[in-house]
Amino acid sequence: MRLLLINPRFPESFWSYRWMLSTIMPGQRAINPPLGLATLAALCPPHWEVEIVDENIEPTPLFPEADIVGVCGMGIQFPRQKELLSYYRARGHYVVSGGSYGSLCPEQYKELADSVVAGEAEYIWRQFCADFEQRSPKPLYHETGTVELADSPTPRFDLLKLERYSGASLQFSRGCPFRCEFCDIIVMFGRKPRVKNLEQVGRELDELRRFNVRSAFFVDDNLIGNLPMARKLLQYLKEYQEKHNYWFSFGTEATLNMAQHEDLLELFRAANFSWVFIGIESPDPASLKETLKTQNLHEDMLTSLRRIYSYGVDVLAGFIIGFDNDTLDTFEHQYRFITEAGIQSAMIGLLTALPKTPLYERLEKEGRLSALEHASDNTRPGTNVVPKGMPYDAMIESYIALYRRLLADREIALRIKNKLRHLGSAVYRDGHASRESQGVRSRRGYAPLEGLGILWRLVRKGILPGGPSRVWHFLRSIPWWMPSRVNTAISDWIVGLSMRDFAQRRLTSEPIDASVVKLSVDALRSAIGDDLTRGKVTLSLHQSGGLDLAICFKGSPDHRFFKRAAPSLERFLKHPHASLTLRIEAFKAAHISQLQEMLRKLAHYGDRISIEVDERLSTLVPIDSSVFHLVLAGRRD
């Protein structure tokens, strides 16, 4: 049996870190690989041939040789997941849906997939495989109980192209004991954390070492959800690291109450956790109480954060604005907190109600869910929640303004300073051993030449283009006298500038300047005028939410078309609300390299470029669907 598993392309969101990946880390295409698919692959019968395609790092195959195509997806991927399911289904493949959103809302997939796999797959996927081999697969496999994680296999890391990601992931536990009102995790995985045994973890780490992975992310919902087991894990990891010369740098997600357990923090440090993602959500205790995030109320949150820092563990954090208790003043409170805490990677989102959560149910009863906005991305200037304490439009404006404010050069530098003041030494930070572990050779981090390359690209493509003011803030934020902290400051600049690039392009309410658009479209018309008059190419402009320019190749254009069109198209796409649709109905093989050259120039705007290639031409004109939105025509041969 041949199974193809696909992770659909993500639209850009906070965690895409697009600028960082495309500018500073050439070769890396995404932050993390799809661990769910690697786990699913390991659950298949051994005689099945399995392939994993992650459309975020490689194109999806248009004519795969597969009996079954399985497509996963978070809510944010749902539109692309639907396209992929319907394309492969129309081509005669048996299609199966699974993953995060399908686990939360299986009913959405009823018409889209031949079989819907909802929930943890360890038991039900094995059942599906057996049924499929017996030619009697069912339309729905729904895990309504929970899975013993001892029954979860070592993921098939060998099927992932790990070198194209910033790090790899593994999982120790599922579930979280808390009950935050907005959370879908406890709806999907329950409030009783379940864990793998330590031998399983050891096997997974051995596998990752085999693939030369140094940076590993425990994707647990809350690594310390089961405190006694978390202690055992950390002790185990500490010993593992000692035995393997501190091979790994770890990161994870955990709750802020980790700061209440100094023995635990010491273990985090000893096991070489360099960062932890924490849901801080709000500096306002009333908002935290409202959303039942009571685990953040043990003490002053800055004190907790600084204690975590003091163990050499950096903090990435999530923040939410839009609780009923929040007003427009909340934006100022959040700004002050994030700045004082020195949190560079601050994922700030507007309160969003995910289906099936207690928040969703409450707001539905109160008639406060807006049908206009979908709830899949928490980091966009919009939400499906009708706020109570402030007008919607003012909230959106303040949200955009908060990001802009936090991402000014001065602010990035200030946060670095505020953090470094409290950041203790890690066992290994940036290749420098702390006193306790002197003498043990560090094997993590970048080789000196690689590190220099990163710094060089940051300075050339990130710092210098910001002019003298950015250069000044950069220089004053680097603790040159503390070499072990220099890399932390450099990473924070990379993160800050990447978020800034994201916010500038994605978090904007800037109206389209019609005259600028007209200029670039007129320039395009005159550059390709001959092809237009000969009817080889048609051009039209449509206004909906933004502006879409549609170009259709009806005949083969002049070979100079592509070179001439590229500069005006680039100018047009500079506007964040502008998009381009290319429809290729006719094409000459001789023009492929010119088309590719034009697309290479436009790749930066790839997520706003849709390309539709007539099916007869799809092998002649290959389009990289990991860069552009490749429109998939769902036709049968």
Query: Which spans of this chain sit near ligand SF4 (rule: CB under 6 A)?
Result: 176, 178-180, 183, 185-186, 221-222, 255, 279
Instruction: Work out whether strand 140-142 and strand 346-350 pair parallel, antiparallel, or are unpaired.
Output: unpaired
Q: What are phi and psi of 250, to 5 degrees?
A: -105, 155
Q: How far apart are CA 219 and CA 412, in angstroms?
A: 27
Minimum distance from residue 288 beta carbon to ligand B12 (Å): 18
Q: Name which of 444 and 506 has its Cβ closer to ligand B12.
A: 506
Q: Is 310 helix (H, G, I), strand (E, B) or coil?
A: helix
Q: What angle do CA 581, 586, 587 make, to 5 degrees?
A: 95
Element (H, E) at 476: helix 467-477
| Residue 76 touching ligand B12 (CB under 6 A) | yes
Q: How far apart are CA 494 and CA 21, in angstroms?
A: 10
Q: What angle do CA 395, 399, 403 make, to 5 degrees?
A: 170
| Residue 348 touching ligand B12 (CB under 6 A) | no
CB under 5 to 8 A by kind: which of ligand B12, ligand SF4, none does 120 bind? Answer: ligand B12
- The secondary structure of residue 165, as a DSSP letter, is B
Q: Name which of 177 and 466 has its Cβ closer to ligand B12.
A: 177
CB under 5 to 8 A by kind: which of ligand SF4, ligand B12, none does 178 bind? Answer: ligand SF4
Q: Name which of 203 and 563 has its Cβ closer to ligand B12.
A: 203
Q: Name which of 120 and 326 has its Cβ closer to ligand B12.
A: 120
From 9, 52, 83, 122, residue interacting with ligand B12 (rule: CB under 6 A) = 122
Q: Cα separations (Å) of 121 from 76, 314, 322, 419?
A: 21, 33, 34, 41
Span of 14-22, 193-201, 382-390, 487-495 interacting with ligand B12 by CB under 6 A = 14-22
| Residue 8 touching ligand B12 (CB under 6 A) | no
Q: Name which of 14 and 474 has its Cβ closer to ligand B12.
A: 14
By Cβ distance, which residue is nearest to ligand B12? Answer: 98
Minimum distance from residue 219 beta carbon to ligand B12 (Å): 4
From 3, 20, 36, 433, residue interacting with ligand B12 (rule: CB under 6 A) = 36
Q: How far apart are CA 112 and CA 108, in angstroms?
A: 8
Q: How far apart are CA 114 and CA 8, in angstroms?
A: 18
Q: How far apart are CA 174 and CA 40, in angstroms?
A: 16
- The secondary structure of residue 63, as a DSSP letter, is S
Q: How many residues of this chain bind ligand B12 (CB under 6 A)? A: 40
Q: How far apart are CA 634 and CA 631, in angstroms?
A: 9
Q: How far apart are CA 414 and CA 419, in angstroms?
A: 9
Residues 70 and 51: beta-carbon distance below 8 Å = no
CB under 5 to 8 A by kind: which of ligand B12, ligand SF4, none does 342 bind? Answer: none
Minimum distance from residue 389 beta carbon to ligand SF4 (Å): 21
Q: What are phi and psi of 142, to 5 degrees?
A: -120, 115
CB under 5 to 8 A by kind: which of ligand SF4, ligand B12, none does 411 bind? Answer: none
Q: How far apart are CA 358 and CA 292, in angstroms?
A: 11
CB under 5 to 8 A by kind: which of ligand SF4, ligand B12, none does 121 bind? Answer: ligand B12
SS3 content of the chain, % helix, strand, coil (to 5): 45, 15, 40
CB under 5 to 8 A by kind: which of ligand B12, ligand SF4, none does 176 bind? Answer: ligand SF4
- String marking each residue 155-194 x if it binds ligand B12 according to CB under 6 A: --------------x-x------------xx---------
Q: Specify which residues 579 forms β-bridges with.
A: 548
CB under 5 to 8 A by kind: which of ligand B12, ligand SF4, none does 222 bind? Answer: ligand SF4
| Residue 345 touching ligand B12 (CB under 6 A) | no
- The secondary structure of residue 536, as a DSSP letter, is S
Sign of CA dihedral 416, 417, 419, 420: positive
CB under 5 to 8 A by kind: which of ligand B12, ligand SF4, none does 279 bind? Answer: ligand SF4
| Residue 48 touching ligand B12 (CB under 6 A) | no
Q: Is 133 helix (H, G, I), strand (E, B) or coil?
A: helix
CB under 5 to 8 A by kind: which of ligand B12, ligand SF4, none does 180 bind? Answer: ligand SF4
From 4, 35, 353, 613, residue interacting with ligand B12 (rule: CB under 6 A) = 35
From 379, 442, 579, 581, residue interacting with ligand B12 (rule: CB under 6 A) = 379
| Residue 74 touching ligand B12 (CB under 6 A) | yes
| Residue 487 touching ligand B12 (CB under 6 A) | no
Q: Specify which residues 612 forms β-bridges with.
A: 583, 631
| Residue 104 touching ligand B12 (CB under 6 A) | yes
Q: Name which of 67 and 239 has its Cβ closer to ligand B12.
A: 67
Residues 624 and 595: beta-carbon distance below 8 Å = no
Site residues, ligand B12 (CB under 6 A): 10, 13-16, 31-32, 34-37, 39-40, 70-72, 74-76, 96, 98-101, 103-104, 117, 120-122, 125, 169, 171, 184-185, 219, 221, 377-379
